[in-house]
Amino acid sequence: MQNTLADTLLEKIHLRTARVGVIGLGYVGLPLAIEFAQAGFPVLGFDLDAKKVESIQAGRSYIRHISDERLQALSRGKNCDATADFSRLDEPDCILICVPTPLTKNREPDLSYIENTSTSIAARLRPGQLVVLESTTYPGTTREVVRPILERSGLQAGIDFFLAFSPEREDPGNPKFSTRTIPKVVGGLGETDLRLACALYDAIVPKTVPVSSPDVAEATKLLENIFRSVNIALVNELKVVLHRMGIDIWEVIQAASTKPFGFMPFYPGPGLGGHCIPIDPFYLTWRAREFEVATRFIELAGEINTSMPEYVVSRLIEALNDERKSLKGSRILLIGVAYKKDVDDDRESPSYRLMELLLRAGAEVDYHDPFVPRLHPGRKYQYQMESVPLTAETLGRYDAVLIATDHSPIDYALIGQHARLVIDTRNAMARVPTPKARIIKA
């Protein structure tokens, strides 16, 4: 029966008649669903947020770097749809899980989204379906968490249905790389599971990279993000050290980047943001404790990166003190609440921690972000603010401007001309030739 089920599904994948279900239509799931629709597959997207479903059905994108035109490949595709009705999970032949994997307050993995999604799938699981987890998680999740939940259906993984892990590699706002241009690592529960998952992704990516198990694929994603976390922590620490020595870290990085081998530039900032780098390394540190192994390097990098907002505020306090001002009562304009340049994604943004520290110290805080017009209460922060316009008159009202995100459309020359004091965490003011404002790199 296994060969019959697998062969039937494989043929449907090759003919592109296999219906692809994508659970979680956010920054990972939505691009994935669009690519499968553009490749000619019937697609059914699932999300608990009815507003997202309505937007997709109307052909209106809710993610800045995904245009309405691109989204319409999904909304107007043949046999493509989006729904908040999870009872339809028996309709897709292949189900891709793209749900959040946050941390708890104690920095332990929160797998509730994966567990709840797997429970919903199990309630409708039918023979011959392929399930692929894409959410970043610790090695062993696919085998030890997802598989047992799915097998509550009475079906057996690798025989009645097929299971794999393939980590997302999205980089929102990156003009050079997108879902269709990035190789896909795939780890299957067995050889048949791997063959089916690779065949599915082969239809939309330039190359699939098969590995020996889901555990290897899960560890691969963590390595990719830990690599970035550790190197960013390194330059953040050097930023603090070199400042004490009167040396500009940005100039040092620029000079080191001229070496054609053995060096890769990473850049300091006000802290880490997004759903990957601030979170994923701690999935491995938690898992490592089960094996009585200390991950000191990873944890040290996390400590350095999470301490950066405090360092930035300390530099702001020093700069205000030089002008005989206190942070308490000062008016601060924060530039950028998105976690990275030229995106509208504010998940885990260090700007929120900066706001918290500034407000706690008694400062009055506003923000400007061309891509995030208003703030909405989230899981951790409850700010309800709207972006203020960036004008000469507006800038003149603030004691300091703090650049946390260096969006391209922002007029840095205007800031340099009309701000009194600028705390620059991104070296953004380096592009302004003769600023009148006092510039402090932090």
DSSP 112-156: HHHHHHHHHHHHH--TT-EEEE-S---TTHIIIIIHHHHGGGS--
In DSSP notation, 67-80 reads: -HHHHHHHHTSTT-
**End of a domain among 157, 185, 210?**
210
Lowest mean per-residue pLDDT among 60-69, 202-211, 248-257, 411-420: 60-69
Give whole-number Cα distances, 72 to 127, 225, 404, in Å: 32, 32, 34
Amino acid 104: pLDDT: 86
3 vs 261 pLDDT, higher one: 261
Q: Do 118 and 240 share a structural domain?
A: no
Instruction: Report, as an integer, the average pLDDT of 208-217.
Output: 98
Which residue, 424, 423, 418, is CA-closest to 436?
418
Q: Do 53 and 195 share a structural domain?
A: yes
Residue whose entry in the numeric block shows the structure tokens 């690798």: 158
Overall domain count for the chain: 3
2: pLDDT strictly greater than 60:
no
Q: Do 168 and 60 share a structural domain?
A: yes
Residue 51: strand, helix, or coil: helix
Q: Do 342 and 235 share a structural domain?
A: no
Amino acid 376: pLDDT: 79
Q: Vertex 358, ends 385 and 369: CA angle to 5°?
A: 40
Over residues 12-57, the pLDDT tens digits come to: 999 999 999 999 999 999 999 999 999 999 999 999 999 999 999 9
Tokens representing residue 389 in the block: 């316009």
> For residues 360 and 381, is the Cβ–Cβ distance under 8 A?
no
Q: Do 242 and 105 share a structural domain?
A: no
Spatial distance between the Cα atoms of 76 and 59, rounded to a whole number of angstroms: 8
Q: Do 90 and 108 share a structural domain?
A: yes
Parent domain of 100 = 2-210
Q: Do 221 and 190 share a structural domain?
A: no
18: domain CATH number is: 3.40.50.720
Over residues 327-379, the pLDDT tens digits come to: 999 999 999 999 999 999 898 899 999 999 999 999 999 999 999 999 977 77
Q: Do 338 and 381 share a structural domain?
A: yes
Tokens representing residue 307 in the block: 């301490």
Helix (H) or strand (E) holding 83: strand 81-83
Over residues 92-126, the pLDDT tens digits come to: 999 999 999 998 888 889 999 999 999 999 999 99
- Residues with catalytic roles: 276
Phi, psi (deg, nearest 5) at residue 353: -65, -40
**End of a domain among 253, 285, 306?**
306
Q: Do 180 and 50 share a structural domain?
A: yes
> For residues 124 and 90, is the Cβ–Cβ distance under 8 A?
yes
Q: What percent of the chain has pLDDT over 90?
A: 81
Average pLDDT score over the chain:
94
> For residues 84 and 48, is the Cβ–Cβ distance under 8 A?
yes
Q: How many CA atoms lie within 13 A of 280 on its CB side?
A: 27
Residue whose entry in the numeric block shows the structure tokens 């994923």: 280
In this prediction, residue 1 has a pLDDT band, given cuts at 50, 70 and 90, of: very low
Helical packing angle, 214-244 and 280-290, nearest 10°: 120
313: pLDDT strictly greater than 50:
yes
Q: Do 432 and 371 share a structural domain?
A: yes
Residue count (the chain): 442
In this prediction, residue 72 has a pLDDT band, given cuts at 50, 70 and 90, of: confident
Over residues 126-178, the pLDDT tens digits come to: 999 999 999 999 999 999 999 999 999 999 999 999 999 999 998 777 778 77
Q: Do 327 and 269 share a structural domain?
A: no
Spatial distance between the Cα atoms of 241 and 249, rounded to a whole number of angstroms: 9
Q: What percent of the chain has pLDDT over 70?
A: 99
259: pLDDT strictly greater than 70:
yes
What predicted TM-score, i.e. pTM, was given to this entire model?
0.91
Spatial distance between the Cα atoms of 253 and 264, rounded to a whole number of angstroms: 9
Q: Do 315 and 189 share a structural domain?
A: no
**End of a domain among 264, 288, 306?**
306
